[in-house]
Amino acid sequence: MDFNANVRPADMERITTPELAKAFIDAQVKAVRDQVGDGRVLLALSGGVDSSVVAALLIKAIGKRLVCVHVNHGLLRKGEPEQVINVFGKELGAELIYVDATDRFLNKLAGVADPETKRKVIGAEFINVFAEEARKLNGVNFLAQGTIYPDILESNGVKAHHNVGGLPDDLKDRFALVEPVKLLFKDEVRMVGKELGLPDNMVFRQPFPGPGLGVRCIGAITRDRLEAVRESDAILREEFAREGLDRKVWQYFTLIPDIKSVGVRNSKRVDEWAVVIRAVNTVDAMSATVEPLEFAFLDRVTKRILAEVKGVNRVLYDLSPKPAATIEWE
């Protein structure tokens, strides 16, 4: 395939079967080898579907000449950094640099309550951390990105919400881009990921915003609420998987507004946080309907959150469709 082409050829077959996925992989492995020769390639590996599929594809093509950098901004879901380290660092034997930048991000975010400012701080700090790692590496002249076709269609070729989009000039000039899935739609990327042997819970995962749990810890992020969001979200995901709802519902998560309310613990009145459950279905995220979760299911999740998550005394289910609401709260 032509690496410079930003337009999907009219006769390009939709990847709907494992055989077609395999043919695509074989073609891209060859194309990547032709493009990079014996060079090295850098990739920001978030663990999301797109960057994971690109990583697996490039490992197949060039092995340890792919250098993956996984930046943990402290706003990932429970188990995510561990899964990246296990799948890519251990099972696939990738060259993986893991950066735990949690303290750095949380320090920068301290007291920042405005949602857009939070997003900007997270995006800018991500570039800083990634650029620092990139500058430490010698002989790496290619940058791989998990750009997919909707990114090109929506933003004229620039992956607007992609974290590496705004690299400083010295790095931009140094790298040629490698974007092996840029002509694929999301379902095709998943098909390719599955054929590459990535785990289902990586390939079929629900959408997760780049700023991560940062936008689900409403207002200024505090460590206690961040941990409570992470723990309650893990409980919700566990219960969704147990019920087989994880492949049925489009997006489901918890969030914590910055409001305390009074409750009772050990016969004492104590002010604690409220956890909100959100579960929605949509086709294009422009509008969304609420999943009619069974009361017994909500009851079970509520009991677990109240028993297992520190500092939480209420659990609410958000019944608001988009519009009037949005999917996230900020």
Q: Tell me the site size for ligand XMP, rule CB under 6 A.
A: 13
205 close to 175: Cβ distance less than 8 angstroms: no
One of 25, 191, 192, 327 touching ligand XMP (CB under 6 A): 327
Phi-psi region of 16 (alpha: psi -120 to 50; beta: other; left: phi over 0): alpha
In the chain the first and final C-alpha atoms are separated, in Å, by: 40
* Beta carbon nearer to ligand XMP, 159 or 182: 159
Segment near ligand XMP (CB under 6 A); pick from 22-30, 60-68, 170-178, 208-216: 208-216
* Beta carbon nearer to ligand XMP, 241 or 285: 285
* Beta carbon nearer to ligand XMP, 54 or 67: 54
Segment near ligand XMP (CB under 6 A); pick from 101-109, 209-217, 261-269, 292-300: 209-217
**What are the structure tokens assigned to 114, written together?**
């405005």
Binders of ligand XMP in range 118-177 (CB under 6 A): 119, 161
306 close to 264: Cβ distance less than 8 angstroms: no
Told to check if 326 binds ligand XMP by CB under 6 A, we report yes
Told to check if 251 binds ligand XMP by CB under 6 A, we report yes
Q: For residue 229, which of 75, 44, 13 has the smallest C-alpha distance?
A: 75
**Please, what is the minimum distance in Å from the beta carbon of residue 129 to ligand XMP?**
18
Q: For residue 240, which of 227, 254, 228, 229 has the smallest C-alpha distance?
A: 254
**What are the structure tokens assigned to 101, written together?**
């930048």
**What are the structure tokens assigned to 262, written together?**
């009074």
**Please, what is the minimum distance in Å from the beta carbon of residue 207 to ligand XMP?**
4
**Please, what is the minimum distance in Å from the beta carbon of residue 28 to ligand XMP?**
25
| Exposed/middle/buried for residue 227 (C-beta within 10 Å: 0-12, 13-18, 19+) | middle
If one counts every other C-beta atom within 10 angstroms of the C-beta of residue 113, the result is: 13
* Beta carbon nearer to ligand XMP, 161 or 260: 161
Segment near ligand XMP (CB under 6 A); pick from 14-22, 68-76, 131-139, 206-214: 206-214
Q: Interface mask (CB under 6 A) for ligand XMP, residues 23-42, using x and -?
A: --------------------
Q: For residue 53, which of 212, 211, 180 has the smallest C-alpha distance?
A: 180
**What are the structure tokens assigned to 204, written together?**
């079929």
One of 207, 248, 270, 294 touching ligand XMP (CB under 6 A): 207
Segment near ligand XMP (CB under 6 A); pick from 163-171, 257-265, 269-277, 319-327: 319-327
Cα separation, 239 vs 230, in Å, equals: 14
CA distances from 258 to 168, 226, 246, 279, 294 (A): 35, 11, 28, 20, 27
One of 104, 300, 304, 322 touching ligand XMP (CB under 6 A): 322
One of 89, 199, 209, 311 touching ligand XMP (CB under 6 A): 209
**What are the structure tokens assigned to 123, written together?**
């995006």
The site for ligand XMP (CB under 6 A) is made up of 119, 161, 207, 209-211, 215, 251, 285, 322, 326-328
